[in-house]
């Protein structure tokens, strides 16, 4: 399966992947999924939001056990984020068939569309639409960098955009959704474990900091006469690092815009975007209010004005405790495998669906901790350990 997927959407320059929603590379990935489903005699269907499903057993029976992930990528992304979950799902089913497992519940493998949001700027569009967390009107307003709207892109790819929208009947047939994913950090590498269980997705948000000073000549303006917003901004970046460290959180200024943006001009405006995430809401509040308060002091010290605007916010996602305990119990029976429980700072379809159905996640060790880059990696042995853990989980859930 890896061999088949390897060339699809690969950028020869960077070695990374460009599998954006409703493009040619995406269509090739989707054709691969359909082929895998049909080769295993699974019933294949595409739902009204473009998500692909492969069923074993009758979905109408309800309480289905579903696993899967996504096949799209960020710009120049790695091979594992998404595809590892889909490939492992098919491999786990093969493993269960070789064990002759009889299921008392329907089982399905899913490929959620447009998880990364690389093209239209919003992540998890397929699962958000299905769960009713993105309205049809909002979806119709999404546009890519060339001005192509989501419905136009869907139509160009041969999909009917008029049927998109919340799909409660479909989700109501699912009793549990388990997503396997490559870890996007180094917790498993540091603890020496191959596989981990997710506890929660950290709350996270984005804030815009506008530092306004006074543009002036870089050569003729005395230092004492300046109102330089770059200084306040720079001090705030260092504060953000310190505050995050104190709270065991993360805080990043990764984007900046400067006016007038001239080499020989003191800036009039420095606009910086803060991305911050923490294990819980209280820690995140502490970090961000600490940064904001320090930024005001830094601004005052330089005669600079400051506006802070929260541009987006996603609260904590706690995965279903009963399902997580059950997975821990199933995996705990294998004494070779101790399964640590970890939080994550990244969003996933499983997080979106957790508001509607019980969901859980398995992470596979990533020795570099790097993701969303061609350096993203998992060893073959660890991938196999992930497949076996997923097979055990599906077997335990589908027979209960």
Q: Which is nearer to Zn ion, 23 or 366 (CB)?
A: 366
For residues 295 and 378, which CB has a smaller minimum distance to Zn ion in the complex? 378
Q: Which residue from 103, 71, 65, 101 is spatially nearest to 86, judged by alpha carbons?
A: 71
Bridge partners of 363? 181, 196
Structure tokens at 203: 């709350």
CB of 150 to Zn ion, least distance (A): 20
- How many angstroms separate the first and last alpha carbons of the chain? 30
Q: CB-based contacts of 289: which residues, under 8 Å, 6+ apart?
A: none
- Chain residues binding Zn ion by CB under 5 A are 81-82
Q: Which is closer to Zn ion, CB of 73 or CB of 268?
A: 73
- Determine how many CB atoms are found less than 10 A away from the CB of residue 383: 21
Q: Which is nearer to Zn ion, 185 or 396 (CB)?
A: 185
Question: Residue 161 Cβ, how far from Zn ion at the closest point, in Å?
Answer: 24
Q: Of 222, 207, 217, 208, which Cα lies nearest the Cα of 268?
A: 217
Nearer to Zn ion, 16 or 82 (CB): 82
Diameter of the chain by CA atoms?
A: 82
Q: How far is the CB of 73 from Zn ion (least distance, A)?
A: 9
Output the smallest distance, CB 270 to Zn ion, in A.
Answer: 33
- Nearest-approach distance from CB 383 to Zn ion, in angstroms: 15
Kindly state the smallest distance separating residue 81's Cβ from Zn ion, in Å: 4
Q: Which is nearer to Zn ion, 26 or 210 (CB)?
A: 26
156: tokens are 């160009």
Give the Cα separation of 323 and 107 in Å (integer): 16
């Amino acid at each position: 399966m890896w061999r088949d997927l390897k060339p699809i959407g690969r950028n020869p320059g960077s070695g990374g992947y460009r599998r954006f929603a409703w493009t040619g590379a995406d269509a090739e990935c989707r054709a691969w999924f359909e082929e895998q489903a049909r080769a295993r005699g699974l019933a294949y269907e595409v739902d009204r939001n473009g998500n692909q499903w492969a069923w074993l057993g009758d979905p109408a029976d309800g309480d289905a056990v579903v696993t899967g992930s996504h096949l799209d990528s960020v710009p120049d992304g790695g091979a594992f984020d998404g595809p590892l979950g889909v490939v492992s799902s098919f491999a786990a089913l093969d493993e269960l068939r070789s064990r002759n497992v009889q299921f008392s519940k329907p089982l399905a493998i899913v490929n959620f569309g447009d998880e990364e949001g690389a093209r239209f700027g919003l992540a998890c569009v397929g699962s958000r639409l299905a769960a009713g967390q993105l309205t049809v009107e909002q979806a119709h307003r999404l546009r890519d960098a060339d001005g192509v709207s989501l419905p136009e892109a869907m139509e160009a790819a041969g999909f009917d955009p008029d049927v998109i929208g919340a799909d409660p009947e479909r989700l109501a047939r699912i009793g549990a959704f388990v997503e396997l994913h490559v870890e996007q950090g180094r917790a498993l590498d540091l603890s020496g474990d191959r596989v981990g269980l997710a506890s929660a997705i950290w709350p996270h948000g984005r804030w815009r900091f506008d530092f306004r000073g006074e543009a002036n000549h870089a050569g003729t303006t005395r230092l004492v006469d300046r109102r330089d917003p770059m200084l306040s901004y720079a001090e705030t970046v260092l504060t953000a690092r310190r505050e995050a460290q104190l709270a065991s959180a993360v805080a990043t200024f990764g984007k900046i815009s400067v006016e007038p943006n001239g080499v020989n001009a003191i800036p009039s405006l420095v606009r910086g975007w803060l991305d911050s995430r923490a294990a819980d809401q209280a820690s995140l509040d502490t970090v961000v209010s600490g940064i904001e308060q320090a930024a005001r002091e830094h601004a005052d010290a330089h005669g600079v004005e400051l506006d802070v605007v929260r541009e987006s916010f996603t609260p904590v996602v706690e995965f279903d405790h009963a399902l997580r305990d059950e997975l821990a119990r199933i995996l705990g029976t294998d004494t070779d495998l101790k399964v640590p429980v970890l939080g994550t700072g990244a969003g996933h379809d499983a997080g979106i669906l957790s508001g509607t159905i019980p969901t859980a996640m398995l992470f596979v060790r990533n020795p570099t901790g790097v993701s969303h880059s061609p350096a993203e990696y998992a060893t073959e042995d660890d991938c196999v350990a992930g497949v076996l853990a997923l097979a055990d989980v599906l077997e335990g859930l589908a027979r209960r």
